[in-house]
């Protein structure tokens, strides 16, 4: 899927498909790129999340931008989503460290164990959103949980995007475990730091996908321009 996405993204950024152009049909792209329909559809969804294309029912997929600016997950832009997450989930983790109950810790430990064994992306993403909801519940303020519930669909879309394109699953598992360890210890500052680190890594992964780093000519031995 990453190879297909890279091919189509490159074609759009080079202008092979200009703004306003309709992409070839799924059947045609599948034959040309020699990939299955599910793989192609995942790549097309990623293009749309990146803001490069839009799908119009019954008409096809059209190019609407030639550069990635800010991916969209459901109703929310990635930058807006991350800004809100920082203001909500970091303090939530601190409150959770002070207010969590044995039941909250048991549920989080169970979730972590399942996530670390899970190989199916869809199942893992569902547990990822449940993990963040459970941390919010552990803060024992229903408003926090309601906010996370409101952005739950966007969180799931973002999680799936990062797992497909950024290989985030194992890193996320480690970051989640650090959060839970801080909650187990009742360590407010450690919980704040662990959640902050987790969101920092989410932002870095998004940035790497949206604006891939170019090879360093000096490092590769290529002559500088």
**Nearest to 10, CA basis, from 37, 60, 50, 42:** 50
Say if residue 53 is in the same domain as residue 84. Answer: no
What is the tens place of the pLDDT at every residue in 118-177? 988 889 999 999 999 999 999 999 999 999 999 999 999 899 888 877 778 899 999 999
Number of independent structural domains in the chain? 2
| Beta-sheet pairing, 60-63 with 53-56 | antiparallel
> For residues 65 and 59, is the Cβ–Cβ distance under 8 A?
no
Say if residue 34 is in the same domain as residue 80. Answer: no
Query: Is the pLDDT confidence value at 218 over 60?
Result: no
**Structural domain contains residue 126:** yes
Say if residue 77 is in the same domain as residue 50. Answer: no
CATH number assigned to the domain comprising residue 49: 1.10.10.10
What is the tens place of the pLDDT at every residue in 173-208? 999 999 999 999 999 999 999 999 999 999 998 888
**Structural domain contains residue 41:** yes
> What is the domain range of residue 149?
73-210
**Structural domain contains residue 177:** yes
**Structural domain contains residue 223:** no
Q: Which of 34, 63, 92 is the last residue of a domain?
A: 63
Say if residue 180 is in the same domain as residue 138. Answer: yes
Residue 212 carries which DSSP code?
Answer: P
Say if residue 33 is in the same domain as residue 80. Answer: no
Say if residue 41 is in the same domain as residue 80. Answer: no
């Amino acid at each position: 899927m990453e190879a297909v996405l890279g091919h189509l993204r490159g074609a759009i950024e080079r202008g092979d498909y200009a703004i306003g152009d309709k992409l070839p049909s799924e059947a045609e792209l599948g034959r040309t790129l020699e990939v299955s329909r599910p793989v192609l559809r995942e790549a097309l969804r990623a293009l749309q999340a990146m803001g490069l294309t839009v799908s119009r029912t019954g008409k096809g997929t059209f190019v609407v931008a030639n550069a990635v600016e800010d991916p969209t997950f459901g109703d929310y832009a990635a930058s807006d989503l991350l800004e809100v997450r920082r203001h909500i989930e970091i303090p939530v983790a601190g409150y959770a460290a002070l207010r969590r109950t044995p039941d909250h810790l048991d549920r989080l430990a169970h979730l972590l164990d399942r996530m670390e064994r899970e190989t199916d992306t869809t199942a893992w993403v569902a547990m990822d959103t449940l993990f963040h909801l459970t941390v919010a519940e552990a803060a024992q303020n229903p408003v926090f949980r309601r906010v996370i519930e409101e952005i739950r669909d966007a969180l799931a879309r973002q999680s799936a995007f990062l797992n497909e394109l950024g290989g985030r699953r194992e890193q996320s598992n480690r970051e989640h475990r650090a959060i839970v360890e801080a909650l187990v210890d009742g360590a407010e500052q450690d919980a704040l730091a662990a959640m902050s680190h987790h969101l920092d890594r989410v932002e870095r992964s998004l940035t790497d996908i949206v604006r891939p780093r170019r090879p360093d000519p000096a490092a590769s031995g290529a002559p500088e321009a």
